[in-house]
Chain A
Amino acid sequence: MTAFAIGIAFGFALERAGLGDARKLAGQFYCTDFTVLKVLFTAIVTAMLGAFWLARFGVLDLASVYVPETFLAPQLAGGAIFGVGFLLAGLCPGTSCVAAASGRGDGAMVLLGMFAGVLLTGLGFRAIATFYESTARGAWTLPELLDVPRGTAIAMIVAIALGTFALVERRA
C-alpha cells in the first residue's frame, strides 16, 4: 500500500514536471532542455538532506534503508544500454509509465518494449549470469568511496547541484 502511494506520488510529480513528454526528455541529451537534470538533481538533494536530518533527529533509522549493491562492470554496461534506449525512445521506465498513463502512444510502446526487454533478459539470463555478478563492490556509498564523513559528501553534492543549476539557468 505504501509502495503504491509512493508510486502514485512519484508519477504525479514526474507528470507535473513535464517529464511525460519525450521531446522534453530527449532535449536533455541535445542540451536544449535541462528539465530532467533540474528535476532529478532537485529530487536527489531533497531526499538526501531529508534522510540525513530525519536520521539526525531520530525519526529515520538509516541502517534500515536498503542500499543496492554495486556490481561495477555490469552496472556500467546496463547504464550505457539504458542511456541508448532512453535516447532512442525519449523516455525512461518511470516516465514511460507516466506518458502511457496520460494517454501518449509512444509511452505505451516504450512500456511494451521495456517488458519485452525484461522478458528477453530473463530468458537469456544464464548466458550473462557470470558477468551479471562480476566486479561486486558490496553496498558502496559515496562517503566510503571518497573516504569523507556523510555530511561532507552531502555538502559536496549540494554544492555541485546548485552550481549546475546556476550554470544551466545562465545558458537558458
Chain B
Amino acid sequence: MIRRTLAAIAIIAATLAALVDRPQTIDIASLATQIAAEEDHVTALELAAWLRDRKAGLRIIDLRGEKEFREYHLPRAERVAFASITTTRFAKHETLVLISDGGAHAAQAWVLLRAQGQPHVYFLRGGVAEWLDEVMHPATPTELTRYFGSTPRIDEGFESGDTWSAVAAMRRRGC
C-alpha cells in the first residue's frame, strides 16, 4: 500500500513537472506592438496619479544601486538589484513600475519580465530625473504634484556628477 502511494505521488509530481516546465517562448511581435503603441511605459504624472489613487497591486521597483536608492527614491519604491529581477517573485495581478536612473535599464528589465510572462509591467520612461522634474519640481505645480509636496522649478541647472540627494535638494529650494 505504501509503495503504491509513493509511486502515485512520484507519477503526479513528475507529470506536473513535465507540464509546468515548458520552454519559454517570447512573443516578439506582441512585445513590438506594445512598444509601438507606447503601452510599455508610464509618465511620471501617470505614476503620480496611480500612487495618489492607491492603485491596487501597484509595486514600484527601483533598479538603481543601494547608494542611489538611499539618497533618493520615489514613495513606496522598493529596491531590487537588476541581476535579481528575473528571480524575484511577483504576483501576476501586480502592476509593476520599473525605475532606473534614465530609463534604459528599466526598459531592459521590462523586456525580461514581459518575456517571463509578467502581464502588467511598465517602466518610468525618464527615470528618477523625470519624477523630480515633472512631479517634485514642475514648472507649474498642479493639484496632483502638490499631493507629493512639489515646489516650482527654478532655472538652476545641475551637473551630471551631482548626487540624487543634491539634485533633489536643489530642486526643493523652489522660490
CB distance from A98 to the nearest CB of B (A): 24
B81 at the interface (CB under 8 A from A): no
B residues near A, CB below 8 A? 7, 10-11, 13-15, 17-23, 87, 89
**Contact A49/B10 with A151-B21, A152-B21 known, Cβ cut-off 8 Å:** yes
Chain A interface category by residue count:
10 to 19
Instruction: Give the interface centre of B10, B14, B19, B20 by most chain A CB atoms within 10 Å.
Output: B14
Residues of chain B within 8 A of A49, CB atoms compared? 10, 13-14, 17
Task: Report the bound CA distance from A10 to B126 in whole Å.
Answer: 56
CB distance from A63 to the nearest CB of B (A): 9
Residues of chain A within 8 A of B7, CB atoms compared? 162, 165
**Contact A162/B89 with A154-B17, A155-B17 known, Cβ cut-off 8 Å:** no
Residues of chain B within 8 A of A152, CB atoms compared? 18, 21
A36 at the interface (CB under 8 A from B): no
Q: Is the pair B14, A154 in contact by a Cβ cutoff of 8 Å?
A: yes
Q: Is the pair A155, B89 in contact by a Cβ cutoff of 8 Å?
A: no
Residues of chain A within 8 A of B89, CB atoms compared? 58
Residues 40-83 of chain A: 1 if any B CB is under 8 Å from the residue's CB, otherwise 0? Answer: 00000100010011001010010000000000000000000000
Residues of chain B within 8 A of A52, CB atoms compared? 17, 21
Q: SS class of chain A's interface: helix, strand, loop or mixed?
A: helix
CB distance from A47 to the nearest CB of B (A): 12
Q: Is the pair A151, B10 in contact by a Cβ cutoff of 8 Å?
A: no
Q: Which of B14, B19, B21, B22 contacts A159 (CB 8 A)?
A: B14
Q: Which of B17, B19, B23 contacts A53 (CB 8 A)?
A: B17
Residues 9-25 of chain A: 1 if any B CB is under 8 Å from the residue's CB, otherwise 0? Answer: 00000000000000000
Residues 133-172 of chain A: 1 if any B CB is under 8 Å from the residue's CB, otherwise 0? Answer: 0000000000000000111101101110110010000000
Which chain B residue shows the least CB distance to A58? B89
CB distance from B87 to the nearest CB of A (A): 8
Q: Which of A58, A155, A162, A165 contacts B18 (CB 8 A)?
A: A155
25 examples of A-B residue contacts, CB within 8 angstroms: A45-B10, A49-B10, A49-B17, A58-B87, A58-B89, A61-B87, A149-B21, A149-B22, A149-B23, A150-B17, A151-B18, A151-B19, A151-B21, A152-B18, A152-B21, A154-B17, A154-B21, A155-B15, A158-B10, A158-B11, A159-B14, A161-B10, A162-B7, A162-B10, A165-B7
